[in-house]
Structure 1
């Protein structure tokens, strides 16, 4: 079967490109001919411009000049980061020109939407119909969502009716979060499955095979991974406790921001180096959903930081399914730093993988 995947593959975001790779490779293992449809909307590309500074009337002249100088000084980092992702995509993703999907006449058998937050209206500037199968090439084809996400059901509060109409395009629906599945079943009476992120569906060996062999630290280290590099008293407290108890060095990683002053922050690593850093870490602290996914993939003790209600909702949904909800840290929660029993986690994860494989097999049959 010839399958086209539509997801956030062109984002300069480790989780986005690696989950796209994960689904592509898993479908290939199932025996399908698989392509990533190279749909790169402007709202995604604009977020990762090498130079995106604008004068702000909310700031003083001096503050504006400061931010301008900072943006100029970080251009080399942004260039390095952007082109490392382009090289990864060209090497590992089987890209198919989106323009060819504007023709009703094509030989695709199915299109899979997801995973990632392709239905989050706050990311896609309102709902993007392309991620609901609304494009010429999809007519008469199987339209399947795999582990699609809205980020949080709170993001749908003003759009329930529109979301329901868009879902009617799908021949089969699966989502990433239990809360979204429950909302769809309760309010829209549509059949829906919960499927595991493609990273965990594909498994560890495939990602180990494409990771770099470059070690960033000789000393054992705790890897602190944030999608956006921010200061946080909660995060600092967790780092302090883990470092004190485990006697580890600290290595910080971010994919969407940079610092001119924090020498421990890596912000221009390739996806292959990202995998290497997770694979060789002794402990992981992260505020990222996919940071949590990769900690589990590589069987690392970890803590996930939930900075807000929306973020904590999707983290808790996933971690609870594996019996790891105690690893989620919020303002008033205890910090669990004990060794994780991955034997139990892997049994639960295998059940989720089986359900996910069954969903894809049935949806594509």
Structure 2
């Protein structure tokens, strides 16, 4: 049987790469006798906007050296995709995908069902025009798309055409239930289903605080974190991101080096879903600062699912590593993850067939 995964694999984003790779490996694990592919479907508008964004220079935030590393990232992701993903030939529409002769197409994960995002929305992600024996969704996120207001016809008809549906978050559950009248299974993001290879980043042997896209973190909070680090002999790094104040330039990372940065951090501060996810997977203490509506919903849903809702940073936040590095009880979190991981893998095992 030929199984294809249709997702946002092609953009230069650590979370997007890692969820696609993880879903590929999880399906391989559950269906070892079948052929598993990442469908190399390219949404040109999404690709161009994403790639172009890496070439912007932020004079107040990054140095020229950091910018030079940053503009190399699209090439780093390109190499990683061709090394670690079993890609089909390139496709630009449903006809191209149909010519691949796939028996099963799995749509997910990431924000593949965010039909209100004008840069990434694609009817094909809802199954429009696809011909295969079985169409399955695994953990799609709807981003900031809700059942309220007008829902495009291709979304309603497309979702009704899936043979099996799972979702990643509560908004996705609400949308599917609104359209089909049935409650889909809520599963884990695929990054929770496998163990990732490690690629070391050469850094001084020193404990560090890790930032990953906590945009707009208030200056007084950021200042006190850097002051604390300086006073306690800690380094501060960014996971594939730029800031003049970081202890070293760690921008042009491979996806597995990015994972290594989380695994070895003393503490993480992030504003993204996968920043929180990889903190949890690596049993790191962390805090989140969320400003984008779609991220607020996705991250809070994950934290509620795992019983660790108290991760937010407010204006009164005071950084104190000795106290905060004991806040999360990972024994309880890991037990919840174990139960949900089993249900998620059961879905992949049973519904793809």
Q: Output the TM-score relative to the length of structure 2.
A: 0.84
How far is 1:125 from its partner? 3.6
Q: Call closer, same or farther: CA 1:48–1:105 in 2, change over 3 Å.
A: closer
1:148 equivalent among 130, 133, 140: 140
Match of 2:289 in 1: 305
Match of 2:203 in 1: 216
State how far apart, in whole Å, the 2-side matches of 1:13 and 1:269 are. 11
Match of 1:342 in 2: 330
Match of 2:339 in 1: 351
> In the comparison of the two structures, how many residue pairs are matched?
342
State how far apart, in whole Å, the 1-side matches of 2:239 and 2:13 are. 12
Consecutive unaligned residues of structure 1, counting only runs of 5 or more, are 55-64
Match of 1:60 in 2: none
Partners of 2:114 and 2:143 within 8 A in 1? yes
Match of 1:275 in 2: 259
Larger helix proportion of the pair: 1
State how far apart, in whole Å, the 2-side matches of 1:245 and 1:194 are. 44
Residue 2 (structure 2) pairs with residue 8 (structure 1) = no
Match of 2:127 in 1: 133
Q: Call closer, same or farther: CA 1:15–1:52 in 2, change over 3 Å.
A: closer
Partners of 1:303 and 1:337 within 8 A in 2? no
Q: Call closer, same or farther: CA 1:45–1:87 in 2, change over 3 Å.
A: same
Partners of 1:50 and 1:78 within 8 A in 2? no
Match of 2:103 in 1: 109
Q: Call closer, same or farther: CA 1:244–1:302 in 2, change over 3 Å.
A: farther
How far is 1:274 from its partner? 0.7
State how far apart, in whole Å, the 2-side matches of 1:74 and 1:249 are. 17
Name the Cα RMSD after superposition: 3.3
Q: Call closer, same or farther: CA 1:245–1:297 in 2, change over 3 Å.
A: farther
Partners of 2:112 and 2:141 within 8 A in 1? yes
How far is 1:142 from its partner? 0.7
